[in-house]
């Protein structure tokens, strides 16, 4: 579905601060894939997401969606078919607006016109969808989102994104800023939605157990490269120990603190 | 003379609505206002002198304001100039343009010509007392504009604009170009400001190139006073009402300063100082309120 060809990204090229964040990556994301992405800090995971989402344009290489070149398509246009959730739960919703207004804005992608679509039929639709979250939000349609917890807002962002039916969803450590209980709830919902709506998705996580448990494919990144890409049965057989060993095998090096680098939980 | 305060407050209230849209909804501090206010006045007066239909003249003033706003937004969007600087650029250029529009004069009177206000007062002078005609008229005009603004911000486009001031990333994630939204919003806001200028010129009986000097400060002070009336609300109807009420209150304060300021040896020249101090005081009060709130919260959580 989405193909990255020889993609490289260098920040501040030609200066002392030159920083090669992504180094000639080739990646093919197939339809229906649920890819987990792991790697230490600075491995280029978020930069990879920024490249796919269109926040930044690669210094080299090209991106294509269903054989259509999208290398230079701006982020807001790609957002029509790529959904993204950030680590910061505040980024997905507008704090000083009511829940129903937020849901109305995110209901349909693309430019909005001078038309009032929020009516009782839409409200009923939103309410029935909100029930899925099991958070009782369906009774708080008129409340400002500033009154909601981070977990509730992240769950809401997830639901609203799923309802807009994107072709690919990017989850950028979307549970990392939540407390353990909420993180688990949001992760469970993520799993449920991805299965139910058969979404193609990529998830960055610092939690190796999650990376192994979820999804059908796993990418390990280091220094701007994808050093390990497994799927199917091979991935199912993975354990945390095997993963760390694999890392050493490929990189021929040992970090004393590699457990913290790849962080087990 | 109370009705004069209300009339002035309502006329400038249209401008305050514009300032409210840019500063509070779009989070785009737009200084174009200082130029688009006299632009509206200049266009209106010049059209009246040329014998254009007075309502068409008002429309032309509105369009002129919209174009001024769009200029600022385009400079900001495409040249990557900070929004404050983009506004100052447009405002500075408008100074020359306004003088051009008024036929290379800095001040053009319209005392004897037929204006919207003179025709209105002629029409109703038989059954409404003279001094209340303008009051009723402007209550209607501002009421209509307020309702239109309210309705606009409840449409899908308006809601998305509301989200942008709050969270630009969310708007991008919805597949909407924030640049387009800024252009529409700032254009619309300056259109309102120009209408306000057009009415002000007719009310004062002249258009002056200095009419807009420091007007953004008056607008901002009015918005902030209005916010004191109701601290928190997510309903656009309440917010716009507060902005207009803030404008009336602000003009009441200015009126007091102008007519009774001599008691403390104050001259009209001191009014700009008073405006600035007013804003600073309002900021201080808002800050201390916030601090108190966080202090209480900290104590409760302990």
Identify the band that residue A221 occupies on the pLDDT scale cut at 50, 70 and 90. confident
Give the per-residue pLDDT at B39. 96
Name residues whose C-beta falls within 8 Å of residue B276's C-beta, 6 or more positions apart in sequence. Answer: B217
Q: Which of A79, A108, A168, A174 to mutate to test the interface with B (most CBs of B within 10 A)?
A: A79
Q: Taking the model in full, what pTM does it have?
A: 0.86
Q: Residue A35 domain-assigned?
A: yes
Q: Residue A113 domain-assigned?
A: no
Token representation of residue B74: 């385009």
Give the per-residue pLDDT at B223. 92
Cα–Cα distance, B84 to B297 (Å, whole number)? 35
**Domain containing A22: what range?**
2-94+166-262
Q: How many domains does chain A have?
A: 1
Closest approach of chain A CAs to the CA of B24, in angstroms?
11
Ranking A85-94, B45-54, B79-88, B259-268 by mean pLDDT, the lowest is B259-268
Partners of residue A74 in chain B, C-beta under 8 Å: 177
Q: Residue A39 domain-assigned?
A: yes
Phi, psi for residue B109 in degrees, rounded to 5:
-85, 150
Partners of residue B25 in chain A, C-beta under 8 Å: none
Domain CATH for A187: 3.40.50.300
Structural domains in chain B, sorted by start: 2-301 (1.10.3470)
Partners of residue A102 in chain B, C-beta under 8 Å: 163
> Which is more confidently placed, A65 or A233?
A65
User: Dihedral, CA atoms, A104, A110, A112, A116, nearest 10 degrees?
Assistant: -40
> Which is more confidently placed, A129 or B89?
B89
Token representation of residue B80: 């990557």
Of B156, B159, B166, the CB nearest to A95: B166
Of B157, B162, B172, the CB nearest to A76: B172
Report the candidate in A197, A161, A158 with the shortest Cα–Cα distance to residue A174: A158
> Which is more confidently placed, B57 or A253?
B57
Of A91, A116, A118, the CB nearest to B170: A91
Tell me if B167 and A110 make a contact (CB, 8 A cut-off).
Answer: no
Is B72 within 8 Å of B90 (Cβ atoms)? yes
Tell me if A113 and B166 make a contact (CB, 8 A cut-off).
Answer: no
Give pLDDT tens digits for A148-198.
888 889 999 999 888 888 899 999 888 888 888 888 888 888 988 888 888
Cβ–Cβ contacts within 10 Å for residue B136, how many? 15
Report the candidate in A16, A67, A19, A17 with the shortest Cα–Cα distance to residue A47: A19
Cα–Cα distance, A218 to A211 (Å, whole number)? 7
DSSP state of A4: E
Phi, psi for residue A196 in degrees, rounded to 5:
-65, -45
Which residues of chain A approach chain B closer than 8 Å at the C-beta?
74-77, 79-80, 83-84, 86, 90-98, 101-102, 104-106, 109-118, 144, 161
Give pLDDT tens digits for B58-88.
999 999 999 999 999 999 999 989 999 999 9
Cβ–Cβ contacts within 10 Å for residue A117, how many? 14
Note the ipTM here: 0.82
Partners of residue B233 in chain A, C-beta under 8 Å: none
Q: Residue A146 domain-assigned?
A: no
Tell me if B156 and A102 make a contact (CB, 8 A cut-off).
Answer: no
Q: Residue A137 domain-assigned?
A: no
Instruction: Tell me what the mean pLDDT of segment B26-41 comes to.
Output: 94
């Amino acid at each position: 579905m989405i193909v990255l060809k020889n993609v490289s990204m260098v920040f501040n090229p030609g200066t002392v601060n030159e920083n090669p964040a992504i180094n000639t990556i080739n990646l093919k994301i197939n339809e229906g894939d649920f890819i987990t992405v792991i790697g230490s800090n600075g491995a280029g995971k978020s930069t990879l997401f920024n490249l796919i989402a269109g926040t930044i344009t690669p210094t080299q290489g090209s991106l294509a969606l269903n054989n259509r070149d999208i290398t230079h398509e701006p982020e807001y246009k790609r957002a029509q078919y790529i959904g993204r959730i950030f680590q910061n739960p505040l980024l997905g919703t507008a704090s000083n607006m009511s829940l129903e207004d937020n849901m109305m804005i995110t209901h349909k992608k693309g430019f909005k016109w001078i038309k009032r679509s929020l009516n009782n039929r839409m409200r009923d639709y939103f309410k029935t969808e909100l029930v899925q979250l099991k958070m009782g939000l369906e009774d708080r349609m008129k409340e400002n989102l500033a009154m909601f917890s981070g977990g509730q807002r992240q769950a809401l962002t997830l639901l609203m994104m799923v309802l807009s039916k994107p072709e690919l969803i990017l989850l950028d450590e979307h549970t990392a800023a939540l407390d353990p209980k909420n993180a688990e709830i949001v992760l469970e919902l993520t799993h449920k939605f991805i299965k139910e709506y058969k979404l193609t998705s990529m998830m960055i996580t610092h939690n190796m157990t999650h990376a192994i448990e979820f999804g059908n494919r796993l990418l390990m990144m280091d220094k701007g490269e994808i050093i390990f890409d497994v799927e199917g049965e091979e991935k199912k057989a993975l354990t945390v120990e095997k993963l760390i060993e694999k890392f050493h095998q490929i990189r021929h090096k040992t970090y004393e603190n590699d457990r913290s680098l790849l962080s087990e939980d | 003379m109370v009705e004069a305060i209300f009339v002035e407050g309502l006329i400038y209230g249209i401008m305050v609505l514009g300032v409210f849209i840019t500063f509070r909804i779009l989070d785009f501090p737009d200084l174009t206002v200082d130029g688009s206010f006299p632009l509206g006045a200049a266009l209106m007066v010049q059209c009246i002198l040329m014998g254009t239909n007075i309502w068409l003249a008002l429309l032309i003033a509105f369009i002129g304001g919209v174009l001024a706003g769009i200029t600022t937004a385009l400079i900001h969007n495409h040249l990557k100039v900070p929004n404050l600087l983009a506004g100052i650029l447009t405002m500075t250029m408008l100074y020359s343009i306004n003088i051009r529009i008024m036929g290379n004069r800095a001040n053009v009177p319209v005392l004897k010509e037929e204006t919207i206000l003179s025709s209105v007062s002629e029409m109703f002078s038989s059954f409404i007392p003279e001094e209340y005609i303008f009051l009723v008229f402007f209550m209607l005009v501002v009421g209509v504009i307020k309702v239109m603004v309210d309705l606009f911000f409840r449409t899908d486009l308006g809601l998305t604009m509301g989200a942008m001031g709050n969270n630009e990333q969310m708007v991008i994630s919805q597949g909407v170009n924030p640049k387009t939204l800024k252009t529409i919003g700032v254009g619309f806001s300056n259109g309102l400001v120009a209408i306000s200028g057009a009415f002000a010129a007719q009310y004062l009986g002249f258009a002056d190139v200095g009419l807009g000097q420091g007007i953004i400060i008056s607008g901002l002070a009015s918005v902030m006073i209005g916010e004191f009336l109701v601290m928190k609300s997510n309903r656009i109807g309440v917010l716009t009402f507060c902005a207009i009420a803030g404008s009336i209150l602000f003009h009441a304060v200015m009126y007091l300063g102008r007519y009774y300021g001599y008691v403390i040896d104050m001259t009209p020249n001191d009014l700009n100082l008073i405006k600035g101090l007013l804003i600073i005081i309002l900021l201080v009060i808002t800050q201390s309120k916030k601090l108190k709130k966080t202090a209480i919260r900290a104590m409760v959580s302990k």
